[in-house]
Each structure stands twice: as structure tokens, then as C-alpha cells.
Amino acid sequence: MDAPMTGLALDGRAALVIGTGAGMGQATVAALAGAGAGVACLDIDPAAATAAAAIAERSGRRSVSLAGDATRAGDVASAVAETRRALGSIDIVVGVVGDGAKRGARLLDSDEAAWDRIVEISLKPAVNAARAAVGPMMEQGRGGAFVFISSIGGLSGLPGQAPYSAAKAGLMSLVRTLALEYGMEGIRFNAVAPGIIHTPEIDRISTPEHRALQERLVPLRRMGSPDDVARAILFLASDLGGYVTGQTLCVDGGVTAKYQLPAFWADWERD
């Protein structure tokens, strides 16, 4: 039997979080730092990276603030190098970058440039992160963990959101493939697929009435919080999830477990 874990789950490890704006990015930084990791915070907005690094510092952990565009391979490679320089290693990479689903259009009415941009933002940062960090992890010789934010939109069709759904499905396939390619080096790849998460963006684009309707459709009868997502990331990034790789963990309050069409026998659905 394995020895029981002692201390904090991520003591002595260094994490790079890509995309540290308000909501899931900052919650992820707080969760990793709270579990003992030093955290490098990369964001295209320098102020967002600085704010996230301050969160890690308040937990008493080393941190570094980095500005860069995660869709540019050079920016991500520089962030990996700076993480190693400032924190001593790179053991965890979390990708929270992504263009959230917004009001869209059917395929024939959609804009090609917008399609390309959504796919680029959703997929390219993960590819860049793997290209930049797998080599250093192999060099360190103690494995590593990647966790990327996908979406339940990649598991089912979303009318008017073809590029978003396709890109998120591609991200899930990417982690399965990379898990097979680098498992022998002890490097794990997983994804988290959030459902309806209450973020500042949700408040901006929706009304209280719409949010109440959304909650009614969730089996747990509430929206998720950024902390719900961050805790799932922490599990997959730490040794608690040490035998989990190539998987997508849905954090959706049960939405993807639900039979979506009205079920006449389910009286509780009408309560």
C-alpha cells in the first residue's frame, strides 16, 4: 500500500497558470497556492497577472507575474523558462484561456475570422504549453501534470456555437492523445469541463431571470462557482489524481448526466 500523504498536496512544486483573469483563473491560483505550490501567473493583461500573483503571495507562496499572449508559442516558452528560473522547476501547467460561448450564428451565417479566432484561443494555448513544458518536465525526471479548461459544450452540440463546441471537443481529444504519448514519462494530461459557472462575465451578459432559469435546469439547482472548478483542477494536478490521465472531468452540477427532453414520469422535475 502507498504511504499516506503528509503535508500539503503540492508542497515544493511549481505551477504555471495560463489565463489568470477574474473568475476561474484567480480561483485556480488561490487553490494551487493554498495547497502549497509556488505559482507563476501568465495573462495577456499584465494587471490580471499581477493581481493573481498577489493572491498566491497572500497564501505565503512564491509567485511571479508574467505578461504574454498564450496563442504565441514564444510567449509561452518564455513563461515556462521564467517559471523555472523564479520557482526552481515546472511541475504543473494549468490552461484557463478560452473564448467563452457567446451569442453566435449558424454555420452559413458565421464569420470565418471569428471562427478562426475562437479555435485559436481555445486550442493553441494548450498546444503551446505542452510543446514548451513537456521537455523540461522530462529533464527534471519526476513527471508532471497538465490540466486544461474545456467545456461541456464540447460534449454536446450548441446551436450557433459550432467553432466553440468543436474547439472544446478538440481539446478533450488532445489531452487523450498527449496522455498516451507522454504517460511513460509520468506526465499526465487531463481536462476539466465546466458547466454553467457564475463568473463576472455571466453577470454581464445575462439577467437575474435568465440565471434563475439556468439554475432550474441544473440537477443541483445552482450555478457552479469558480472555486468548484478550481478544486477539480487541484485534484487532477496533485497526487490525489496521480493515477488519472487522459480524462475529462465534468464540473456541471449534473447537467451532462441528465436526460434533456421532458420526462413524463419524473414528477420531481415539475416541483
Please give the Cα distance from 58 to 60 (Å, whole number): 5
**Cell numbers linked to 148:** 486544461
**Cell numbers linked to 182:** 507522454
- For helices 112-140 and 162-182, give the axis angle rounded to 10 degrees: 20
**Cell numbers linked to 80:** 515556462
Q: Residue 151: left (phi > 0), alpha (psi -120 to 50), or beta?
A: beta
182 is catalytic: no
b/e string for 117-147 if b means 16 or more Cβ within 10 A?
ebbebbbbbbbbbbebbbebbeeeeebbbbb
- Beta pairing class for 187-194 and 248-251: parallel
First to last CA, the chain: 47
Residues 152, 250 contacting (CB under 8 angstroms): yes
Please give the Cα distance from 109 to 11 (Å, whole number): 51
Q: Which of 118, 148, 112 is nearest to 133 (CA)?
A: 148
Give the active site residues. 164
